Amino acid sequence: KLSVIRSSYTNEEIDGLFSWADIIFAGGGNTAYMLEKWKEYNLYPRFMKAFSEDSAVIAGISAGAICWFSSGYTDSAMFDGKENWDFYTIYPGFDFYDAFFCPHYNQEFRRGFDEAQKNALVPGIALEDGTMMVYDRGQVSFYRADESRQAYVFTDDGTRVRKACVFGSWAA
């Protein structure tokens, strides 16, 4: 278990953990702080190696999912303790998948993502709780825990942003 938020490690210890990891899972929390800590420990090349060599499943939930995309819609400002905070777009993520990502899209206050997507330069992906996206060797698929959960892809056709509900395989 590697927890750079609560512990400190040597480079050798981190390399050892990555060498035998079958699954790399990033939990939720403060996206901005998580990315900052990962940069401090120089984890990007290690994540990239696991991703490019297909040596481990790379997964995440909430903030831990945002980090794998090129950008994300985050509530990291909430963790600063300020009373009047708002969502914002965080750049850059690790860019394993070139899209603007929003978790918890079923939560009403996340609907600002639709407006933020208008300024994004890449397609958008919004997942409600209970859904997931799988990216495997260039193929994207979406799954859900039950019929009430939705996943959305936002694309720009040059005149407007289109939002489509998707499940199963999807071609970018």
Strands 168-170 and 88-90, sheet pairing: unpaired
Provide the sign of the torsion angle of the four alpha carbons 83, 89, 93, 96, taken in this order: positive
Is omega for the bond preceding 45 within 30 degrees of 0, making it cis? no
The question of whether 104 is a catalytic residue gets the answer yes
55, 62, 70, 169: the active-site residue: 62
Residue 42 region by backbone torsions, left for phi larger than 0, else alpha for psi between -120 and 50, else beta:
left
The question of whether 62 is a catalytic residue gets the answer yes
For helices 31-40 and 44-52, give the axis angle rounded to 10 degrees.
90
Phi then psi for residue 15, to 5 deg, are -60, -40
19, 70, 104, 169: the active-site residue: 104
Q: Which residues are catalytic?
A: 62, 104
